[in-house]
Amino acid sequence: MPQFIRCHDIKENSKVIINKDKIQEIRVKENKYKGHPEHLEIKFCNGNSIEVAMLIENEVEGNAVFFNINQR
């Protein structure tokens, strides 16, 4: 059963749900703005990537593990 992460796409300013099986790499991106959470770049198996707000695990529903934005 696939697992999903829920996060906030910074470029599109929208929430997205990502199938963890499609993720190739997750990297922390340096954030120049003080007081803002760190950003992550998620690279997919097909070569596409998105930049999202830092994620924290906060709940489990069945076989899906969800993450929310880390509000510092």
29-41 per-position pLDDT tens digit: 776 766 666 788 8
pLDDT, tens only, 12-29 = 888 888 888 898 998 887
Name the token pair of 23: 């993720």
HSE-CB of 38 using CA atoms within 13 angstroms: 10
CA trace torsion 29, 71, 61, 40 (10° rounding): -10
- pTM confidence score: 0.65
The residues, ordered by sequence, that sit 6+ positions from 14 with a Cβ below 8 Å of its Cβ are: 8
Pairing of strands 64-69, 23-29: unpaired
pLDDT digits (tens, 9 = 90+) for 38-62: 788 889 999 999 988 866 544 444 4
